[in-house]
């Protein structure tokens, strides 16, 4: 494509790729745990232990 290779940038990308392969926690965060959706106003929240919806 006519671009010059940047060796320093290539080394940085390679280190990030290696880190992703080694450490599974370095991958994308679980957004549902960090930013949970608010409870439904009329149904409340679901409790899997009792299999019922509970109002907060």
Cα separation, 31 vs 29, in Å, equals 6
Confidence (pLDDT) at 56: 66
Confidence (pLDDT) at 40: 77
Give me the residue label for tokens 């392969």.
21
Name the 3-class secondary structure at 2: coil
Confidence (pLDDT) at 42: 78
Confidence (pLDDT) at 8: 92
Give me the residue label for tokens 């949970």.
36
Confidence (pLDDT) at 1: 64
DSSP states of 1-56 as a string? --PPP-HHHHHHHHHHHHHHHH-GGGS---HHHHSPPPPBTTTBEEETTTTEEE--
pLDDT tens for the chain, residues 1 to 56: 677 888 999 899 898 888 888 886 777 777 878 888 888 777 778 877 888 877 76
């Amino acid at each position: 494509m006519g671009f010059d290779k940047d060796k320093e940038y290539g080394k940085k990308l390679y280190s990030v790729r290696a880190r992703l392969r080694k450490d599974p926690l370095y991958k994308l965060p679980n957004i549902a745990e960090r930013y949970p959706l608010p409870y439904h106003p009329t149904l409340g929240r679901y409790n899997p232990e009792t299999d019922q919806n509970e109002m907060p």
